[in-house]
Chains A and B, each alone.
Chain A
């Protein structure tokens, strides 16, 4: 299991006290954050590491969140940016070390009970095979239920870019999952 770089998970310096409202809203979001993290990371253990790193970053930056704006979109943006940093760090590592573990890593579900279910493993494999930008778009819109405009804001891309990633991601999923969808 790989760790999220220490630079993003250090919370030794608490910046004052976070408001109870912020904290409770964040606690309420945790199950959804975990789902999105799992979708991005394609792996239960990596997903949980990503989720924890996101919580730490959100707590450190809580003063940057503006009351009255959507906390979920704000937290998801933090999470996908952390994940991009992490994947870049991993590909740098992969250039140094032989990338032999990459193959066994793809499509491995962390939760044995879920993995045992053939249908579920099938969807996991199809999602894992998507390019990261398409997977992210599919997760935000089809799984997390964000509107195109909101998803584009979270990713930080134009609407047109988001919709074309969605179209391509869906085509690929349809192909991989077949007519049985």
Chain B
């Protein structure tokens, strides 16, 4: 029986031990079933608590909180309001479903975020990788090359400076993860199905208008409207999107 205090076991489970001490505990546990059991019990407690509280952080927060925070920030330029109205008008034309009223706001704010985003079109081109953005597999259009890579790796919540931007991520009725993307050559919606990104909608891309910067255009708003009609519930928030990515977009 290894002589180890609860505090040491706790530090081991919480990842607080230096690498060397950590190795010693692991080694000891291999030859000591009692110690292994104490470690397992501590780990199970930690897992159980974090699983218990996880749904609270995954639930949508009251929308007035974000409003309260954004009220205090720099006022947005007036042209944004027009784009948002466009998205809202389009959303209003979609057939009403149950639960539409509660999810509407999140979608409008996602559309707003998409419209506010300013893409930097420099450096990597759409064809930066060796294959084109779209290929045909078993009769379906699937994303490949740089587009496939962007869909796999880019988060809508953390925009990089690449030529493809992710406008949002959501789940459709079947539970598949779908992503709205915008690029110079094409914009659209792709859903993750059987390990690949199948393109559901493709619209002409948005070439940069002047210099390297541009304001996201009406194609983006149109896509957000389409996304809302396909989606089951609200778009994924930053944490949910991160979690979906970690699970390989399953």
Question: Chain A residues in contact with chain B, CB under 8 A?
Answer: 14, 17-20, 22-23, 26-28, 30-32, 34-35, 38-39, 48, 51-52, 55-56, 59, 62, 114, 120, 123-124, 127, 138-139, 141-143, 145, 147-148, 163-164, 166-167, 170-171, 173-174, 177, 179, 181
Q: Are A31 and B58 in contact (CB under 8 A)?
A: yes
6 closest Cβ contacts across the A-B interface? A35-B57, A31-B57, A35-B56, A18-B72, A23-B73, A123-B52
Q: Which of B14, B57, B66 contacts A32 (CB 8 A)?
A: B57
Q: Which of A59, A62, A141 contacts B68 (CB 8 A)?
A: A59
Q: Residue of A at shortest CB range from B75?
A: A17
Q: What CA separation (Å) do A19 and B57 show in the bound complex?
A: 25
Q: Are A23 and B69 in contact (CB under 8 A)?
A: yes
Q: Which of B50, B56, B66 contacts A27 (CB 8 A)?
A: B66
Q: How far is the CB of B235 from chain A (nearest CB, A)?
A: 14
Q: How far is the CB of A46 from chain B (nearest CB, A)?
A: 13
Chain B, range 42-76, C-beta contacts under 8 Å to A: 42, 44-46, 48-50, 52-59, 61-62, 65-66, 68-70, 72-74
Tell me whether B222 is interfacial, beta carbon within 8 Å.
no
Q: Which of A14, A19, A38, A59 contacts B56 (CB 8 A)?
A: A38
Chain B residues within 8 Å of A179, by CB: 41
Q: What CA separation (Å) do A164 and B10 show in the bound complex?
A: 11
Q: What CA separation (Å) do A148 and B68 show in the bound complex?
A: 32
Chain B residues within 8 Å of A139, by CB: 53
Q: Residue of A at shortest CB range from B70?
A: A23
Q: Are A48 and B62 in contact (CB under 8 A)?
A: yes
Q: Which of B14, B48, B70 contacts A181 (CB 8 A)?
A: B48
Q: Are B45 and A142 in contact (CB under 8 A)?
A: yes
Chain A residues within 8 Å of B52, by CB: 120, 123-124
Q: What CA separation (Å) do A28 and B65 show in the bound complex?
A: 11
Q: How far is the CB of B80 from chain A (nearest CB, A)?
A: 13
Chain A residues within 8 Å of B7, by CB: 163-164, 167
Tell me whether B34 is interfacial, beta carbon within 8 Å.
no
Known: A138-B49, A181-B45. A19 touches B237 (CB 8 A): no
Q: Are A167 and B6 in contact (CB under 8 A)?
A: yes
Chain A residues within 8 Å of B44, by CB: 181
Q: Which of B41, B49, B68, B74 contacts A143 (CB 8 A)?
A: B49
Q: Are B45 and A59 in contact (CB under 8 A)?
A: no
Q: Are B53 and A39 in contact (CB under 8 A)?
A: yes
Q: Are A27 and B69 in contact (CB under 8 A)?
A: yes
Tell me whether B215 is interfacial, beta carbon within 8 Å.
no
What are 26 pairs between A and B in contact, CB < 8 Å?
A: A17-B72, A20-B73, A20-B74, A23-B70, A27-B70, A28-B157, A30-B65, A31-B56, A31-B61, A39-B53, A48-B62, A52-B68, A120-B52, A123-B49, A123-B52, A127-B49, A139-B53, A142-B14, A142-B45, A142-B50, A148-B14, A163-B7, A166-B10, A167-B10, A170-B10, A181-B41
Q: Are A19 and B73 in contact (CB under 8 A)?
A: yes
Q: Are A56 and B48 in contact (CB under 8 A)?
A: no
Chain B residues within 8 Å of A174, by CB: 41, 45
Tell me whether B239 is interfacial, beta carbon within 8 Å.
yes
Q: Residue of A at shortest CB range from B55?
A: A114
Q: Are A34 and B70 in contact (CB under 8 A)?
A: no
Tell me whether B85 is interfacial, beta carbon within 8 Å.
no
Chain A residues within 8 Å of B72, by CB: 14, 17-18, 23, 59, 62
Tell me whether B226 is interfacial, beta carbon within 8 Å.
no
Tell me whether B36 is interfacial, beta carbon within 8 Å.
no
Q: Are B45 and A30 in contact (CB under 8 A)?
A: no
Chain A residues within 8 Å of B53, by CB: 35, 38-39, 139, 143
